[in-house]
Chains A and B, each alone.
Chain A
């Protein structure tokens, strides 16, 4: 994946040397031509085409922003409610993610989702302990986290 990006930059520089145009516009044209070459030769690379992963990262960022706005609005509604009848709880959730950075990212995303906060990670890194602000249904919360965040992160890290 990173070797593809490096190769694309290299092709862009070769294009700049071939056309003797050392400008940002020349670099951009060379980058696009190199991208076309990489797309044509994608069966020689072992991983996916790097554009799909860039797209996955972008959609993960959009998800992050959306969840941040939703969670802030939920906290606002809870705080401004006249009678505070919240039921906090700490529940555990199994995760299938393996690598360190994936789990860190998942923990940050959960912390910014509506009403959940990670307070602990087990030593073997298979379970997350999540503090829920308003506890209604654990299964629903777990399945929503699994379906949105875990899938988005594994989409990024898939080879």
Chain B
């Protein structure tokens, strides 16, 4: 489209495509910035994981999709690696968030003072006690 002729650069389709790309990439940048701000402002590791696992996923997805659309519709290159990257991020980001939260909880990191209810604490304590009482018997 860009290479063809000077008049076509200002056609309606090109305008719509460019607006779409700009909106996608700026949404991605906005959400990435919010992730960084959330990592600074939120009180403990669990609430920070919320910001890191959701907003950043959507931010990176929007940036990747905008780049994919730019290279496909403006430059004429259909790059499937972008699509694969989007799918991989979608699968791995929530698992990463879960593992960070779980590892933090089991290694005994305290939740923030604002926390009103904690059901996991008794469960982990019970399991640790059972593990400790069982271990000498096994050896």
Interface residue stretch chosen among B11-19, B49-57, B68-76, B77-85: B49-57
Residues of B close to A12: CB separation below 8 A: none
Chain A interface secondary structure, helix, strand, loop or mixed?
mixed
Q: Are A112 and B120 in contact (CB under 8 A)?
A: no
Check B117 for interface membership: any CB of A closer than 8 A.
Answer: yes
Asked if A76 meets B31 with Cβ closer than 8 Å, knowing A88-B47, A90-B111, A123-B127, the reply is yes
Smallest distance from the beta carbon of A17 to chain B beta carbons, Å? Answer: 30
Residue of B nearest to A104 (CB): B95
CB pair A86–B94 under 8 Å, yes or no, is no
- From A78, A108, A120, give the contact of B105 (CB < 8 A): A120
| Interface size, chain B (Cβ < 8 Å) | 43
Q: Which of A77-112 touch B at CB < 8 Å?
A: 78-80, 84, 86-92, 107-109, 111-112
A120 touches B123 (CB 8 A): yes
The dominant DSSP class at the B interface is: helix
A129 touches B123 (CB 8 A): yes
A87 and B116 contact, CB distance less than 8 A: yes
Residues in A with CB closer than 8 Å to B49 are 117
Measured between C-beta atoms, what is the minimum distance from A150 to chain B in Å? 17
Q: Say yes or no: is A53 at the interface (Cβ < 8 Å to chain B).
A: no
- B residues 25-44 in Cβ contact with A at 8 Å: 30-31, 34, 37-38, 41-44
| Residue in B closest to A89 when the chains form the complex, CB atoms | B117
Residues from chain B with a CB closer than 8 A to the CB of A117 are 46, 49-50, 53, 97-98, 101
Jot down 9 A-B pairs with beta carbons below 8 A, ordered by A: A69-B58, A92-B119, A112-B54, A115-B50, A117-B46, A118-B101, A122-B123, A135-B116, A135-B117
7 A-B pairs with the lowest CB-CB distances in the bound complex, closest first: A111-B94, A119-B101, A108-B94, A79-B38, A89-B117, A129-B120, A72-B58
